[in-house]
Amino acid sequence: MANEMAKVCNALNIDTWEVVRAAATKPFGFMPFYPGPGIGGHCIPLDPHYLSWKARQHGFDSQFITLAEQINSGMPKYVVELVRDALNGNQKSVNGSKILILGVAYKKDIDDMRESPALSVIDLLRSQGAEVVYHDAFVPEVTFDHAYTIGAGDPLYNQELTDELIKSADCVVICTEHSGVDYKNVCELSSVIVDTRNALKEETRDGSKAKIVRL
């Protein structure tokens, strides 16, 4: 629901994260959930399918589980659409652009790549002709299964997050908000940023000349 609400808010030109913060001020009966570039890990992307499969064996169609999976699995494509639109605003296309991915593990401050949505984001961008590089201090190498890859499928290797690397990117995409990244510096040196994790807090964005698109 959080991911679908992010799409609705974007269509209405409303700040998704502001809506969640406002709703969380309710003193009872509300637990905040946040959108992201997709879901990862070994549990949420897989376990609901086991329940759905078992339900079908007993003649029950668990439509909500199916719908949730469709929305969640479609988020990487939506992120790429945000990247495309942001680049278009700078009169650039995805094809031929250099895209820097910040964070490829499926959640912050770990090295677990299982079902990470960043893999799909990278794959989709490369299939559209982008040059993709990434920085993730927890993940030295990213490999792709050629049987399921629509992009180049070649492995990628962690790049040191230097000022030169940030400046060279046509667009920076924050897929995982690792704590060790100097996001204020990223804002100061980037031209376009797509922030899928609300990593760029208001004080971080202050004074930035970068075009910032948030999920």
Which among 43, 171, 175, 187 is annotated as catalytic? 43
The residue to which tokens 């499969």 are assigned: 53
CB neighbours (10 Å) of residue 98? 15
| Residue 113 bridge partners (DSSP) | none
43 is catalytic: yes
Q: 166 near 185, Cβ under 8 Å?
A: yes
Residues with active-site annotation = 43
